[in-house]
Structure 1
């Protein structure tokens, strides 16, 4: 199995350590690295350094060099390493101040580039891998756990480490990146996405770059494990890129963003919970009114996504029976009689069964009439295995702090204040919400008239020839009509009276470009120029589908404060479709720099548009952006250009298309339908179905980095009166290798569909796209006795080589260099 290229940093097999400072690793070197480590300690005078180096000649390449020295010694250290440059180099922050930091950073960067050495630094915190007892930093070692911490700040990562040590939270890795242009943040996130030791990832950043790569890496990671992001500099105008656009990008990546440092810890505690809420309906249960009210005040004032759950009558009846006379059961639930562990658990069971409850938040204060340790012991016997998230708050310190530790150690998170508990619950719910956004893609619908894309290209090119960058109002309207925008120019007479009488607010759709994340779409108040409020979440990145468009509208400040009162469902649908049209225009025409439809007046029948403005970029952009990989967008759209419709020789129709997240059930049925022989030939296993993790990996594809193609056809569905349903009959996909430059492919055809040329068509399309995506090679393993597959692959130009590790397998590969 290929090692990830960053394994040289995080799992080095050999080390050279060059330091003039006492480092923790000097007294606690992992046993596995003892004989594979060269230690060079540069104590003493500057003049003695050459003599010291002569004692430790580098006869063979080390996987990782760790350097922590006074900047004045850098030239001599790099000259020493030139004997046999390492694969990777970690530059720790030294004790002394560098009087020429820019020059040192440039020296290190140019040296590492010249010698093809991966660089982490300079002035990095370093790396910790607690499960390996590997502490390549100057700080105390973290406890071993499942959370990876990745930071652009050396000082902040030390603060997080200090907090984790105090709260007994274990970490799988700790790393900061340093200052030079070496290993990037997206690369490190991608590494931990595939790290089996990591269950969740915490990212701190301030400076933004590589918008597409950053979002791609976070999307990949958050599809399999929670990612929590903290960013400083929201008010810093010197930082590149809009913070609101970054916020929108994170929502679409499936990650959770926290606004404050303290929220980072609350979110981490909550996200270690195994259960995820399906919505924002919260039940609060307390042993007193005051703390329950504090919890509700914080929840309802600070969160747009949490609300008080409305209990069923049956739930309220059962709660009253459990808690006795005088209790309150209309959420919050307040027990005025002394609470016992048995009563608390019985209440939690009732709430767990109520479909109107998504999560439960007990909040308890010290009560000398209750046996609080007994209450907590009962709580921990139930909460960790509850089917719904339970986040506990125990207010107080002397008595309650030890009890919080007991709850934490049970696997059910506990908090000391309502504010921190709400922050944790907000992270849980945001994670679920953002995961829904992550799975959305814009699918071309063939039952709707196709957009007149070529007519739009001709219009834009005509303007370019005239050296014009501004479209007239008529040309703007025509471009939208090429995409079948359902809008009315001006105001319809029937709508005019309706609009005036009801005083409905005017709307605005705006498109601009961010220097990091490219085009973004805003929906909000129109009629005049309005600065986008900081708390307005009516902003998103293209591409949009109908679900994303609806969420964009409903998140907007305008909708929450006014529009939801006025808008009728048919007009809401028209607004959704208009946002989809705008998204498609942005996707298909990278030459659009700005687009504004303002004002849009809601009528009884129409969206009445009074003004449209479109401005083009100063540079000419490609007519077919898919050929250059949609470089202008942060999120790679669904590659609809690959959809093809074919007919077998017997007249049966079939479709070749990229896979979609909603294909998961069809994919599982396809695997189950394979014969035992076919499954063995493909998976070298007798497995009868895909595991949930494998299913997610195959059906959720980041089209920027990978590709999966399916062949589908229609068959009668006996479960739905014989109406046709789509089934998968073939699959071809490639997943990036850990080296970052190659990929491993797989091809499987349904037993009843072999011998029809299906495999050749799927595989040839896959190879062409792998080449277009910039891969250097593609490879796969095929059983030696799978003669048909080997024949197909060699017929397509792949090389058939023996597998050096298994004589029963063949390595079949192709180079694109």
Structure 2
């Protein structure tokens, strides 16, 4: 991902139109018309050998004849084979951005088998040129009068950015938005996304002060790691909403396992959106409704909604929609009922929805609204009104608006149902910044958007729980089993091997033995206490019960051996081509009341490994109760995955059955997450059923499919905790300190660390007095994206056995990996311990290994110790800011200096 030269693409000062034309309805003519009509302030230079001028503007026969190098070139020539040469000439002139509107470059092949698209991309890469497209409709930036597109309609100025892979959708949205008077900061058609893609644009727009929210229409994602990093960074700054095409099950990848069959690409995309803190919607009107809701409504603390209405019918419709969409009607306590009784007619509904009667005027609305917003059991109020002959909609609106101004912290939404009679009231609500909707369903949908957006943002901000027990996986044992399977060409591990891998990662499994013959199965059963389960063992038979390959509650060797012979005959008849390797004999798991779950791993073609959890059993695909998540997982993220399934309610216990041990289930998902991180060879994994009850979990059946893979974590959409960067360091006082990357779990210790800094430490680090950082800011410091940021802490064991943070160094790197901004702070009582120097040297080594070009930081002028310290490590003062802040930089291409440390 890179934002390099994107300013030339989205805020150009000069433009050349290559392929400009006077031919009616040609792309070259439409682009020139739009550029000239939009009153772009810079020069527009048409390039064509066919006309001396285009649209009244002097034309140039070729790029070489241009009087200056354009910031942006709009390439709309008819012959795609000419485009690589055009780009080469533009690059020689110094152009740094081009939008290729021509389609079909990938269809024109060179003699060596490459395409003109390959050639064009190679030219761009060699010359640091940014390409939008090919097959792009163009770019609109209304604030600078830029309509560099062949769209039929211009865009109004606004604060929303719209980025789409579909040109047809772009034109439809432009038409729709103009009718709704919705404006844009940027309107971008990515086209085939061969050059600039979603990650690049998200990085640019995420820090653009003119953009309030980002709206995406997504068909495909090309670069999972870059997309997720950019999406998470942008979503921390402003709302990011997405529509994803291809939601049907038919788009799912065919797979051998239950997990693979259930892991449709749409469900995985949904999981990615949640993890990135974004909000997913499903149509155009919904996306604009959602962004208006997020912009106008206050942050939602819960999902308890009170519905205030003057008509029972519309209130019931809202309640039904709320139940369907996962919201919750607030339960009104007795004291609220009593207060409402005192101000409302006898015939009011005495419950929620609060129907206050068709004759309700503004005063009655306001008194009721005050009572509801004052209740701590109500998170938001939807105020509804249907026009009647007994009250005026606009008068009621005026009263509600005044009430909302008097209670700025109350979360109030409005729905004035109707058309002409209520249109003025809706305009008043919009003008007052109060969310308003035409229908009950639209209002409830907006409320659920707020709930979901809050949840997704919490996934970025929550402090994860620690695992209930530390587990140290036996990676050597798991590696032996997986490599044994790979040595045979890969494929599916048998049940016994798969369970052994799970056991190596601390997941409890039922006792299982392998028997090559019916006689051996009988002998094994004789040595086991109690009844056993007998299962066929075959690499081709993935769902054993489908072919009669499972028999339960068998007693003794005779019964088991007899059942094995019968099973063998039956399976050979049903599945004659299957290779039978024998049988598995396992202890019957006696767990009355246990819930059957499924947990597993699948590999998505876009986002890589994903984890799946849901209700298990033989009807798992029919039930289709599952939730997906991207690794890595911690305990909080695992809990969130479980909460999104219907079976989670069964885990709470019912009819005398105690609740299941949720921590054990969460830990299982965390263990699976670590397993798939450690072993890129695992492409699918099933545990079905996974029994769960108050005692914990037990894996009854398991399957793992492996294939050769390159080592490393690049296949993961989110970079996991880089444990390989941990090291031990001995301070000058002899204490051993663990230097490691920061983790989200470090937030509590970071608060303690900050509290132990001296006022001078704090001033030098934060350039001011900071007594305590709020949770949101501390979460930003401890929950980092290891692809974009790094923070190393020094940690020792405290006197009471807890961990203690002594110092921290951090960097944030720009998307181009050009420069990293650093900051470091170590407790004052540890000055001279060597910890600060080792932390900063470790960070310099890390940034150098990533190929970062340089590190920069800011030091207060009255902190001479720090200035000497960083200069000793090779940093050079470059400028002074506001007279008291010195900016220092280190060129990472140069080797660090040697010599004594002046601060030692």
Q: TM (normalized to structure 2)?
A: 0.78
CA positional deviation for 1:488: 3.7
Deviation string 1:229-288 (CA, Å, 9 cap, x unpaired) is 101122385698711111111111111111233321221221112412122221111111
| Separation in structure 2 between the aligned mates of residue 621 and residue 522 of structure 1, nearest angstrom | 23
TM-superposed deviation, 1:133: 3.4
**More deviation in 588-597 or 777-786?**
777-786
Contact 2:821 2:856 (8 Å CA) reproduced: yes
Distance in 1 (CA, whole Å) between partners of 2:725 and 2:63 is 61
- Per-residue deviation, residues 706-748 of structure 1 (Å, max 9, x unmatched): 11223355778xxxxxx78766442211112254443222222
Residue 384 (structure 2) aligns with: 363
User: Which string of whole-angstrom CA distances, capped at 9 and with x for unpartnered residues, describes residues 395-441 of structure 1?
Assistant: 11102122212212221111101121122112111111122223468
Aligned residue among 801, 814, 837 for 1:760:
837
Rounded to whole Å, the distance in 2 between the matches of 1:14 and 1:73 is: 25
Please state if 1:702 is matched with 2:785: yes
**Deviation of residue 207 (structure 1)?**
1.9
Q: How does 1:379-778 map to 2 (within 5 A)?
A: 379-383=400-404, 386-439=408-461, 448-465=470-487, 469-489=491-511, 506-528=596-618, 530-531=620-621, 536-560=625-649, 565=654, 568-602=658-692, 605=695, 607-617=697-707, 619-622=708-711, 628=712, 630-643=713-726, 648-650=731-733, 655-661=738-744, 667=750, 674=757, 677-684=760-767, 695=778, 697-712=780-795, 728-737=805-814, 739-778=816-855
Larger Rg: 2
TM-superposed CA distance for 1:513, in Å, is: 0.9
Matches within 5 A, 1:77-96: 78=87, 81=90, 84-92=93-101
The 2-side partners of 1:457 and 1:100 are apart by 45
Matched, 1:123 2:146: no
The aligned counterpart of 1:311 is: 332
Q: Distance in 2 between matches of 1:29 and 1:122?
A: 26
Tell me, yes or no, if the aligned pair for 1:295 and 1:419 is still in contact at 8 Å.
yes
Alignment of 1:768-807 (within 5 A): 768-782=845-859, 786-796=863-873, 798-800=874-876, 802-803=878-879
Structure 1 residues 802 and 609, CA gap change in structure 2 (3 angstroms): closer
What is the CA-CA distance between 1:443 and the residue it aligns to?
A: 7.8
Q: Answer yes or no: is the 8 Å Cα contact 2:464–2:745 preserved in 1.
A: no
Instruction: Say which SS state the counterpart of residue 134 (structure 2) adopts.
Output: strand
**Gapped runs of 5+ residues in structure 1?**
623-627, 717-722
Q: Find out whether 1:155 has 2:231 as its counterpart.
A: no
- The superposition leaves residues 423-474 of structure 1 with CA deviations (integer Å, 9 ceiling, x where unpaired) of 2112111111122223468787697252223333344344445655443433
Structure 1 residues 44 and 239: CA distance shift in structure 2, 3 A: farther
Q: Tell me, yes or no, if structure 1 residue 327 matches structure 2 residue 355.
A: no
Question: 279, 302, 305: which one pairs with 1:256?
Answer: 279
**1:727-773 deviation line (CA, Å, top 9, x unaligned):** 64422111122544432222222333322112122222223332444
CA shift in 2, pair 1:100/1:251, >3 Å:
closer
| SS of residue in 2 equivalent to 1:383 | helix
Shift of residue 646, structure 1, vs aligned partner: 5.7
Say if 2:463 and 2:779, in contact at 8 Å, map to a contact too: no
In structure 1, the partner of 2:190 is 177
In structure 2, the gaps of 5 or more residues are: 22-28, 109-115, 254-263, 513-527, 533-551, 554-587, 895-904
Task: Measure, in 2, the Cα distance between the counterparts of 1:763 and 1:585.
Answer: 32
Contact between 1:442 and 1:543, CA under 8 Å: does it hold in 2? no
The aligned residue for residue 720 of structure 1 is: none
Q: In the comparison of the two structures, how many residue pairs are matched?
A: 791
Q: CA RMSD in A?
A: 3.9
Contact in 1 for aligned 2:466/2:635 (Cα 8 Å): no
2:173 and 2:284 in contact (8 A); partners too: no
Is the 8 Å Cα contact of residues 817 and 853 (structure 2) preserved in structure 1?
no
Instruction: Return the alpha-carbon distance in structure 2 between the equivalents of residues 691 and 441 of structure 1.
Output: 13
Q: Which residue of 1 aligns with 2:156?
A: 143
1:233/1:239 contact within 8 Å kept: no
Per the alignment, residue 265 of structure 1 pairs with 288
Q: Which moved more, 1:266-275 or 1:499-508?
A: 499-508
Contact 2:308 2:382 in 1 (8 A): yes
CA contact under 8 A between 1:67 and 1:90: conserved in structure 2? yes
Map Cα deviations across residues 330-361 of structure 1 (whole Å, 9 max, x no partner).
21111016223333233333222322222221
Taking a change above 3 Å as real, the CA distance of residues 246 and 501 of structure 1, as seen in their structure-2 partners, is closer
**Cα distance in 1 for residues equivalent to 2:61 and 2:358:** 76
Moved more, 410-419 or 785-794: 785-794
The one-character-per-residue Cα deviations of 1:95-150 (angstroms, maximum 9, x if unpaired) are xxx68884475675455345432111233232223333333334444333322111
